Chains A and B, each alone.
Chain A
């Protein structure tokens, strides 16, 4: 018995070894470089000088950057909120549908197109002479083009479109294995439909909701191309600052410091996700492997 356990541990270590190496080279080392760079002096022509400096962190607390940070938070929260709002009924409908494979394919197929092309498609839809404005004009609903693009509204709209699959899939997988008899049971003991969904369904798919929240909020928080292409003159987000600091201003330490903040934020999010799904597992008391998979997808 004891020997078996030891063997299991040894095998586990062996099996996780390749993954460990991968993580080390492609995650830990770059992260360490970023941390290191953020504490150095900026080189005049990019790169860093090997000298300890806190300049990057001092520069970060500059009202111009703070303004962008606030804007990034507002845009991310709004986009994530609407994404989740749309993803919940979508996930529910998919889980209850008979054509799940078809619906899944429909959600995944847009991924096969390059994201830049999809953003340019949105430009074609939203611009003043674009499909939407022209259609509305054709039916005489409007006479002057609506300003649909190059503003925050366009940024949020396109962000929702880009990340909604990441929100739908985890919600769908958790709802899919939800035992709907529980809802009937709730109705039997006197809950109305809304009440049953709020007190029975939602707590049971908590891990899916948290996963989809994190899967949308974190990439949106670091968004770069969407605010650049469909945003207006005041749509810059943190991701744009990072790119500017690396390429245009040649301030790599500052770019590293901003990246570090983004990385820390995502780490916190993932930890929250892990803790909450572990809690849920221990509460429900069963270890269903496909459930775990669903939570982490």
Chain B
């Protein structure tokens, strides 16, 4: 019997040690390279084209280490908790302005980034928090839309009211993202996605809880693309690049992805250099490199994005984007809500926590 105890014990120790050494090995690998010409990027998943990274590594004789986040909040929490060591981070507009306010960013020297001249006036006019690119250089501007499996659904409205369709009950999902879902509801009602008006918020709450939620299977920001691809969900609210990444190209014809014309929330992700970055020179070179028209076109082609922040790259792209720049006309950037976040949170609680 003692033998058995030993066996259990050894197995447990063995398991634990595997887990720990795996973690340590990774950290050590990161440390080893830190002294050399290495650039540490912290970007969204589905957002970094490998071919571009490889070209950069070759041209600048550098090594690029990539780390990914799934939401601004995760990224922010990690940086705030002291997770430094990154040279370039890719936050969205609201978090760029928060990070500027909190003095978490290194100023950007635009003279080292001549390609910043290609950034569109539209993008800069939306970036009201940093229109002169003192701390942030736009990377991409886009929005979440709706994907419909046209094999299963044929007759549907091409706007947010698709989530009110009771015949699609339990076959639809929306993002587990307060600003996205509430923004869609507000836009559908004709209000600003940044409203702080109590009455308008109340109406949005009624729309979500009364008409949309009963038809949804879940609020899902992690697995919706997989579930859509497998045929579990017929209609999902989500990001084009995430959805099409999960579907083989020969099935793309069965997918109708669109941004409702009535508008909704939009994001503008930018490249920033956090305070404490160790490879500032290389970071500038990378930002400049990304915005070379032919390189930026490669990025757009990889994810089938429209050229929403770049004035030149569309002349170099070879593939049709999933949606076009003009689709974004009625879309509005999500601002940092500051103190008013609490009002949104209170409503979101009734969406997510109660039956």
Query: Are the C-beta atoms of B1 and A177 separated by less than 8 Å?
Result: yes
- Chain A residues near B355 (CB, 8 Å)? 67, 234
B69 nearest CB across to chain A (Å)? 11
A204 on the interface (CB 8 Å rule)?
Answer: no
A112 on the interface (CB 8 Å rule)?
Answer: yes
Among B1, B74, B231, B353, max chain A CB count under 10 A is at B353
A197 on the interface (CB 8 Å rule)?
Answer: no
Counting from the closest, the 10 A-B pairs by CB-CB distance are: A247-B73, A64-B353, A64-B349, A234-B355, A129-B231, A233-B218, A127-B232, A150-B217, A232-B218, A249-B345
Query: Are the C-beta atoms of B354 and A67 separated by less than 8 Å?
Result: yes
B222 nearest CB across to chain A (Å)? 7
Query: Are the C-beta atoms of B227 and A112 separated by less than 8 Å?
Result: no
Q: Report the bound CA distance from A65 to B213 in whole Å.
A: 19
On whether A297 and B170 interact (CB within 8 A), knowing A45-B98, A150-B218, A228-B222, the answer reads no
On whether A246 and B77 interact (CB within 8 A), knowing A123-B223, A290-B1, the answer reads yes
Count of interface residues, chain B, beta-carbon cutoff 8 Å: 43
A248 nearest CB across to chain B (Å)? 5
Query: Are the C-beta atoms of B222 and A248 separated by less than 8 Å?
Result: no
B55 on the interface (CB 8 Å rule)?
Answer: no
Residue of B76, B218, B354 near A64 (CB, 8 A) is B354
- Chain B residues near A128 (CB, 8 Å)? 231-232
5 extra interchain contacts, Cβ-Cβ under 8 A, other than A44-B338, A108-B12, A150-B218? A173-B5, A177-B1, A231-B218, A236-B353, A250-B73
A68 on the interface (CB 8 Å rule)?
Answer: yes
Query: Are the C-beta atoms of B77 and A104 separated by less than 8 Å?
Result: no
Residue of A47, A101, A248 near B7 (CB, 8 A) is A101
B339 on the interface (CB 8 Å rule)?
Answer: yes
Count of interface residues, chain A, beta-carbon cutoff 8 Å: 48
Q: Report the bound CA distance from A213 to B132 in whole Å.
A: 60
Q: Report the bound CA distance from A101 to B213 in whole Å.
A: 50
A239 on the interface (CB 8 Å rule)?
Answer: no
- Chain B residues near A233 (CB, 8 Å)? 213, 216-219, 352
Query: Are the C-beta atoms of A297 and B8 separated by less than 8 Å?
Result: yes
Mark contacts of B70-108 with chain A using CB atoms, 8 A cut-off: 1 yes-contact digit, 0 otherwise. Answer: 010110110010000000000000000010011000000
**Residue of B whose beta carbon sits closest to that of A65:** B353
B125 on the interface (CB 8 Å rule)?
Answer: no
B311 on the interface (CB 8 Å rule)?
Answer: no
- Chain B residues near A249 (CB, 8 Å)? 341, 345
Interface residues of A in 279-297 (CB under 8 A from B): 290, 293-294, 297
Q: Report the bound CA distance from A99 to B83 in whole Å.
A: 49
**Residue of A whose beta carbon sits closest to that of B350:** A64
Query: Are the C-beta atoms of A293 and B5 separated by less than 8 Å?
Result: yes
- Chain B residues near A129 (CB, 8 Å)? 230-232
Residue of A100, A229, A247, A290 near B77 (CB, 8 A) is A247
Q: Report the bound CA distance from A108 to B252 in whole Å.
A: 42
A89 on the interface (CB 8 Å rule)?
Answer: no
**Residue of B whose beta carbon sits closest to that of A225:** B222
B195 nearest CB across to chain A (Å)? 19
Supply 25 A–B pairs (Cβ within 8 Å), ascending by A. Answer: A45-B76, A45-B80, A45-B98, A65-B349, A65-B353, A104-B4, A104-B11, A105-B11, A108-B15, A111-B15, A112-B15, A127-B227, A127-B232, A128-B231, A150-B217, A150-B218, A229-B222, A232-B218, A233-B216, A233-B217, A233-B352, A234-B355, A248-B71, A248-B73, A297-B5
